[in-house]
Amino acid sequence: MNVSVKSASPEFLENISVGPHGLQADEPVSAGGQDTAPNPYELLLAALGACKVITMRMYAKRKRWRLQGIELNLSYAKVHAEDCVNCESAISLIDQIDVEIKLRGELPAEQRRILLAIAEKCPVHRTLTSQVQIRTRADP
């Protein structure tokens, strides 16, 4: 998997290439950008949301369940660690992503419960909740 990001104009607008696909990122006006594209955290939420939906749809399709659609709403915030019930961090502020899932279709409660558990197993979710190593180097 290879993603390329190249700076564009105006300031903070970035062109992103993912294979044959192109998209952009920008910062809001309050951060010096023009707000012409999603910011990096919005792209992160979009990647997580897309992965969760795809994972649930694949599972439901394999099981031949009557899932007619899924809607996710995601939000990101920095929260105080002492306000987080399930946090084990000594750091005062932590990153928190909230995900609200709406399942559409004639699904019994047990199938809904299973699909919500499956959403937690999507590859992007697992990556974000695991230890990630990011190696950065300069190209001479």
Q: DSSP assignment of the chain, as one string?
A: --EEEEE-SSTT-EEEEETTEEEEE---GGGTS---S--HHHHHHHHHHHHHHHHHHHHHHHHT--EEEEEEEEEEEEEEGGG-TT----SSEEEEEEEEEEEEES--HHHHHHHHHHHTTSHHHHHHTS----------
Return d(Cα 127, Cα 78) in angstroms, integer: 19
pLDDT of residue 49: 98
pLDDT of residue 115: 98
For the chain, 140 residues long, the average pLDDT of each consecutive 10-residue run is: 92 95 96 95 97 98 98 92 57 87 97 98 97 92
pLDDT of residue 136: 95
pLDDT of residue 88: 58
Terminal C-alpha separation, the chain: 23
CATH hierarchy code of domain 39-133:
3.30.300.20
pLDDT of residue 99: 98
pLDDT of residue 87: 59
Return d(Cα 76, Cα 20) in angstroms, integer: 29
For the chain, domain boundaries: 1-37, 39-133
Q: How far is CA 87 from CA 49, 115, 124, 125, 131, in A?
A: 22, 24, 20, 17, 15
pLDDT of residue 82: 60
